[in-house]
Amino acid sequence: MNKLRGDFRTAILGVAGGVFTFSVFLLIDRIDSYYTYLSQVHEEGYESYTSINDLWWIPGTFWHALLFIVASFMAHRYLANRFRSPFLLWQMIGVITLLGWLLTLSIATSLDCVMQGGLYPLGRAVNIFLTWFSVKFIAAIFASNVIYSSLIHSAASQYASPPDKLGEA
């Protein structure tokens, strides 16, 4: 029963970390989109701006949370003994999640290349990967993992004290 409880806690931490990191990325992307909108309106007027109100981020959030849960399980199962610091452990979870995204995009691109019979999807994927969008995504994951691991460490250190010193902190 302790094992199941520990796995449940790890899954909850993974979901919370995945949703937190993706929401930080969406916040950064929304701010960037807003300033792009302001500059385009300033240069060309309101008539030329076409709004982008699609919901591309909903499946991305679910997939990112699932990747974060799997990375959290893998890191807590196999790497928790090597990394005593929650900071390094959650940075490693972020790296594993980025590798999961890279694997996902590689599989999707290779299937698209096989189905279309050419290398055009590969060029499009490389072009998308090398844009500012992916740099913002990677930076947001690492930055939010710093914040998230600091929050976990501070919350855990409060309860890791001996029982007589719990009220003194």
Specify if 169 maps to a domain.
no
The pLDDT-based confidence of 14 (bands split at 50, 70, 90) is confident
Q: Which residues lie below 8 Å from residue 109, measured CB to CB, with a gap of 6+?
A: 121, 122, 125
| Total structural domains within the chain | 1
Specify if 168 maps to a domain.
no
Rounded Cα gap, residues 124 and 130, in angstroms: 10
Give yes or no for residue 8 having a pLDDT over 60. Answer: yes
Give yes or no for residue 165 having a pLDDT over 60. Answer: no
Give yes or no for residue 90 having a pLDDT over 90. Answer: no
Specify if 167 maps to a domain.
no
Specify if 110 maps to a domain.
yes
Rounded Cα gap, residues 66 and 48, in angstroms: 39
Backbone angles phi, psi at 84, to 5 degrees: -80, -20
pTM for the model: 0.74
- Per-residue pLDDT at 166: 47
Plot region of 85 (φ>0 → left; ψ -120 to 50 → alpha; else → beta): beta
Task: Print the domain residue range for 75.
Answer: 2-162
Specify if 144 maps to a domain.
yes
